[in-house]
């Protein structure tokens, strides 16, 4: 055969390979390659969308209730009094408003406990459904009345099943109980009553769940659902929101919370005013008796001494002394007030009472201590309502109060000392003036002293009366410093669950899982999957592709067979003409990288397809170490190649006829020798090959894998072309480097590739076969087109085969 003819045939096949390569790497191949995973993606997305539907369907809907509350400073709480500084002081509040403190007050447990108590939230009623229970509010078909509690700090719950005739079943009991009968359970005594007003709302079902909880637990529950925030730093408006499954309950909670807050503010102001009035009344009672005594002394003194008018005698001095006396009187008033305060602070009966303020002592440090003392005292009173005096928090507050009380007492002593020093200085001035009136009768001086004392007491009495009137007026007009800007309103649609987000999230997960699986599988894939993989790693021409066969026999190419795989072998037979067109009796060597890639399967059927073309064909079983040809055709073993080489068999004794295929013979390998490689170098093998060529038109040599042993390279001297078998999903991509080396360095004659065990991906076989001469594939001429017989085994195993293909599981048959 001319060498240039063979080269032209080889170049033509290689050209076809290059044309195919540009098509394989196109977008259509990419789409069809991954299209087979679309059912898994759709199935996964559908499953997760169904799970999203179940979550949305059976998740308890949560509604949001919102409201706005304006917090005003005390200075602006009463605009009618804001212009009068003396009245403004009576409200005893700073102009600055700390909204953070007010938020904590609104969220405090004592406040929320009052809200729970006002709304009677200790008892909750739920209608039991098939999947979830729903809160029955504001009306429930039944009402729980507690008769006796075993422990007020421990809650309990029970199941009530309504029955006809005014009866019900409690928990799992079988005996019905009448409504109104007292029940004892776990040390608790209670009874249930029918709520006739709830009939208009319809029946929620026959099974109800009733729970009772302590007030502290209800406050904690409300804290978890309540949110209070300040929109911005400049605003004094607080945004209140409540999230729960029942919007009516949320509206009532928000409105009750704002009402309780208003009540607390007013109560605190009234308590301060009441304590101040009580202190003033006590002092007025004492001063009234003292003034009456002084008036009696003055009357007796004037009668006894017959003093009626001494002003003309001391006119010049009295004017000066009057000014001094006035200043002295003011100091004396302040000293008396300080004494009253010291007596009040020292009295243990007033340990937990508020300290009066605004009594005329204008000492900033003292006023700050008194204000702090009253604030801590009020906070202690709030906490002691829901706790005990032994609580560490209360004990800490008592210690703080004791320290502040001592500081107030010391501050009063300092103030008194300052007043005494000032009074002493005034006495010195007064003594100087009195030295000028020594000539005046002592009686007039005695009268003057008595009158001065009377004047001091009357001024003190008048001051206290004025403060009493002012505080009474302010107490009568006390209002809250908050105002509802926007009443509580509930959202029409639930804020949870968010249907859109849930469906999008579950859909994303449903798509991500199979896509991630496919991506991971593709990244970790190190085996040949398609024709494109072969062309990527080697420039050797591809002779064709053989599809996957589910047949139980190795011989699939038979006379008059129209199966798809039979036509594929016929196409390869046609393509071989381009490679060995000038060879009269070609010798075709079949090899691969390692065992399991389908050499014996291809050799058997290539021999059959050659024999069916009318050419006498023989298959030589040169895979001496692991022969499969004879066993695959279910033939009886006889003398083989090794027997001939050692001279113990003649050529005629080697031939085995293949039943069912005319002109097809097999030469077995014979007994497995201990030195196969050396045996194949024997000269007798050359004689055997000459005998084969003399008697047969086509010779198929099934050799050992070239990637494991050197047998195929040694036998290459007899071959006209080499069919190198690669198997889809079985041959490693890195092994194609060996093929490239064999092809480039021409270690094997006219090497060409055959891709075996190709499975359908996305409805086609990854390309058209044999350089464009296939009758199936991406153009709709494949299985089911009517051009080929349907394989019953493939029909039955099609679903299983698809699943294996999706999961990347390799069949062992081919």
Pairwise CA distance, residues 467 & 451, whole Å: 24
Greater confidence (398 vs 702) lies with: 702
Pairwise CA distance, residues 534 & 527, whole Å: 10
pLDDT tier for residue 763 given thresholds of 50, 70 and 90: very low
Name every residue whose Cβ is closer than 8 Å to that of residue 175 and which is 6 or more positions away in sequence. Answer: 169
Are 530 and 24 in contact by the 8 Å Cβ rule? The answer is yes
The answer on pLDDT for 804 being more than 70 is no
Greater confidence (602 vs 375) lies with: 602
Are 283 and 464 in contact by the 8 Å Cβ rule? The answer is yes
Residue 307: how many other CB atoms lie within 10 Å? 15
Least confident stretch, 192-206, 351-365, 416-430? 192-206
The answer on pLDDT for 265 being more than 70 is yes
Q: Which of 122-126, 464-468, 758-762, 810-814 has the highest mean pLDDT?
A: 122-126
The answer on pLDDT for 478 being more than 50 is yes
Q: Which of 82-86, 676-680, 749-753 has the highest mean pLDDT?
A: 749-753
Residue 330: the pLDDT is 78
Pairwise CA distance, residues 148 & 585, whole Å: 111
Indicate the pTM of the whole model: 0.53
Helix (H) or strand (E) holding 484: strand 482-490
Q: In 525-657, where does DSSP find H-type helix?
A: 531-537, 564-579, 599-612, 629-632, 641-645, 651-654
Residue 512: the pLDDT is 92
Mean pLDDT of 542-556: 85
List, as one string, the DSSP characters of 247-287: HHHHHHHHHHHHHHHHHHHHHHHHHHHHHHHHHHHHHHHHH
Mean pLDDT of 116-144: 83
Residue 93: the pLDDT is 43
Residue 753: the pLDDT is 92
The answer on pLDDT for 723 being more than 70 is yes
**Helix or strand or coil: residue 639?**
coil
Least confident stretch, 262-271, 388-397, 659-668, 743-752? 262-271
Are 36 and 487 in contact by the 8 Å Cβ rule? The answer is no
Q: In 525-617, where does DSSP find H-type helix?
A: 531-537, 564-579, 599-612
Residue 505: the pLDDT is 93
Burial of 476 (0-12, 13-18, 19+ CB in 10 A): exposed
Residue 304: the pLDDT is 67
Closest alpha carbon to 810 in 733, 757, 760, 755: 757
Residue 488: the pLDDT is 84
Residue 74: the pLDDT is 57
The answer on pLDDT for 402 being more than 80 is yes
Give tens-digit pLDDT for 16-47.
434 344 334 556 666 766 777 888 889 999 99
Pairwise CA distance, residues 755 & 543, whole Å: 8
Residue 200: the pLDDT is 43
Pairwise CA distance, residues 182 & 339, whole Å: 62
Pairwise CA distance, residues 168 & 166, whole Å: 7
State how far the alpha carbon of 331 is from the alpha carbons of 75, 451, 813, in Å: 31, 16, 119
The answer on pLDDT for 313 being more than 70 is no
Greater confidence (491 vs 782) lies with: 491
The answer on pLDDT for 588 being more than 90 is yes
The answer on pLDDT for 805 being more than 60 is no
Distance of CA 803 to the CA centre of its chain: 34
Partners of 185 in the β-ladder? 188
The answer on pLDDT for 193 being more than 90 is no
Residue 789: the pLDDT is 58
Residue 269: the pLDDT is 73
Residue 91: how many other CB atoms lie within 10 Å? 20
Residue 675: the pLDDT is 81
Residue 20: the pLDDT is 41
The answer on pLDDT for 141 being more than 90 is no
**Structural domains in the chain plus CATH codes:** 3-35+525-776+787-807 (3.40.50.300), 123-213 (no CATH)
Tell whether omega for the bond before 497 is within 30 degrees of 0, i.e. cis.
yes
Least confident stretch, 257-266, 602-611, 684-693? 257-266
**Helix or strand or coil: residue 621?**
strand
Greater confidence (12 vs 371) lies with: 371
State how far the alpha carbon of 129 is from the alpha carbons of 136, 169, 174, 209, 333, in Å: 12, 17, 21, 10, 77
Closest alpha carbon to 194 in 121, 122, 246, 145: 145
Least confident stretch, 69-78, 322-331, 469-478? 69-78
Mean pLDDT of 622-651: 87
Give tens-digit pLDDT for 215-225.
888 888 888 88
Give tens-digit pLDDT for 67-113.
888 887 654 444 433 444 544 454 444 445 677 888 888 888 888 88
How high does pLDDT run on average in the chain? 78
The answer on pLDDT for 610 being more than 80 is yes
The answer on pLDDT for 590 being more than 50 is yes
Mean pLDDT of 215-243: 85
- Strands annotated E in 195-236: 207-212, 226-229
Pairwise CA distance, residues 127 & 210, whole Å: 9
Calculate what percentage of the chain has a pLDDT beyond 90. 11
Residue 194: the pLDDT is 85
Residue 788: the pLDDT is 52
């Amino acid at each position: 055969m001319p060498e240039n003819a063979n080269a032209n045939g080889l170049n033509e096949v290689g050209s076809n390979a290059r044309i195919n390569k540009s098509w394989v790497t196109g977008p259509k191949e990419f789409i069809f390659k991954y299209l087979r995973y679309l059912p898994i993606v759709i199935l996964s997305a559908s499953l997760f969308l169904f799970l999203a539907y179940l979550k949305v369907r059976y998740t308890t809907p949560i509604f949001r209730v919102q409201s706005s509350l304006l917090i005003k400073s005390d200075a602006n709480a009463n605009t009618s009094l804001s212009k009068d500084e003396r009245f403004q002081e009576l409200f005893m509040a700073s102009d600055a408003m700390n909204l953070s403190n007010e938020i904590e007050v609104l969220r405090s447990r004592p406040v929320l406990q009052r809200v729970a108590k006002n709304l009677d939230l200790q008892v909750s009623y739920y209608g039991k459904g098939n999947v979830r229970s729903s809160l029955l509010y504001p009306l429930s078909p039944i009402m729980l009345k507690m008769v006796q509690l075993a422990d007020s700090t421990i809650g309990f719950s029970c199941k009530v099943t309504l029955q006809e005739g005014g009866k019900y079943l409690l928990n799992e009991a079988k005996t019905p109980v009448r409504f109104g009968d007292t029940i004892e359970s776990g040390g608790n005594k209670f009874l249930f009553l029918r709520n006739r007003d709830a009939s208009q709302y319809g029946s929620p079902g026959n099974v109800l769940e009733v729970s009772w909880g302590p007030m502290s637990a209800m406050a904690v529950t409300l804290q978890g659902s309540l949110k209070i925030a300040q929109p911005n730093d400049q605003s004094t408006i607080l945004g209140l929101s409540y999230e729960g499954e029942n919007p009516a309950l949320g509206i009532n909670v928000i409105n009750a919370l704002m009402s309780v807050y208003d009540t607390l503010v007013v109560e605190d102001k009234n308590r301060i005013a009441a304590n101040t009035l009580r202190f003033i009344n006590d002092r007025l009672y004492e001063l009234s008796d003292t003034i009456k005594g002084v008036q009696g002394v003055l009357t007796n003194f004037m009668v006894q001494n017959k003093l009626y008018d001494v002003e003309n005698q001391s006119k010049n001095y009295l004017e000066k002394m009057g000014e001094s006396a006035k200043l002295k009187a003011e100091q004396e008033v302040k000293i008396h007030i300080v004494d009253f305060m010291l007596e009040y602070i020292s009295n243990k009966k007033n340990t937990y009472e508020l300290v009066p303020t605004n009594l005329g002592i204008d000492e900033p440090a003292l006023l700050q201590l008194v204000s702090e003392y009253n604030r801590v005292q009020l906070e202690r009173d709030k906490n002691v309502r829901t706790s005990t005096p032994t609580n560490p928090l209360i004990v800490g507050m008592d210690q703080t109060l004791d320290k502040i009380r001592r500081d107030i007492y010391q501050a009063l002593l300092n103030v008194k000392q300052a007043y005494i020093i000032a009074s002493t200085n005034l006495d010195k001035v007064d003594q100087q003036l009195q030295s000028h009136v020594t000539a005046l009768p002592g009686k007039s001086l005695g009268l003057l002293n008595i009158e001065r004392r009377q004047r001091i007491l009357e001024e003190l009495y008048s001051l206290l009366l004025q403060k009493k009137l002012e505080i009474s007026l302010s107490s009568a007009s006390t209002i809250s410093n908050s105002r509802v800007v926007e009443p509580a309103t509930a959202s029409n649609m639930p804020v949870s669950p968010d249907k859109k987000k849930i469906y999008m999230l579950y859909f994303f997960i449903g798509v991500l899982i199979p896509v991630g699986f496919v991506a991971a599988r593709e990244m970790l894939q190190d085996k040949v999957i398609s024709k494109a993989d072969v062309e990527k790693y080697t420039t050797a021409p591809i002779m064709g592709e053989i599809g996957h066969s589910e047949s139980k026999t190795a011989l699939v190419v038979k006379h008059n067979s129209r199966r798809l795989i039979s036509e594929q072998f016929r196409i390869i037979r046609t393509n071989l003409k381009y490679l060995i067109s000038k060879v009269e009796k070609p010798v075709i060597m079949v090899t691969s990288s390692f065992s399991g890639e389908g050499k014996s399967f291809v050799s058997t059927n290539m021999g059959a397809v050659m024999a069916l073309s009318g050419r006498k064909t023989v298959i030589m079983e040169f895979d001496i170490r692991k022969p499969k040809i004879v066993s695959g055709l279910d033939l009886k073993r006889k003398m083989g190649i090794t027997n001939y080489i050692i001279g113990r068999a003649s050529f005629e004794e080697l031939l085995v006829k293949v039943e069912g295929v005319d002109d097809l013979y097999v030469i077995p390998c014979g007994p497995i020798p201990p030195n196969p490689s050396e045996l194949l170098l024997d000269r007798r093998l050359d004689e055997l090959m000459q005998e084969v060529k003399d008697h047969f038109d086509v010779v198929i040599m099934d050799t050992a894998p070239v990637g494991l042993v050197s047998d195929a390279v040694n036998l290459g001297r007899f071959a006209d072309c080499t069919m190198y078998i690669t198997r889809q999903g079985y041959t490693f991509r890195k092994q194609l480097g060996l093929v490239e080396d064999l092809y480039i360095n021409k270690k094997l004659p006219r090497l060409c590739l055959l891709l075996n065990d190709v499975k359908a991906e996305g409805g086609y076989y990854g390309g058209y076969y044999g350089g464009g001469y296939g009758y199936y594939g991406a153009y709709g001429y494949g299985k089911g087109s009517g051009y080929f017989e349907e394989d019953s085994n493939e029909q039955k195993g099609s679903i299983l085969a698809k699943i294996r293909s999706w999961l990347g599981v390799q069949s062992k048959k081919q």
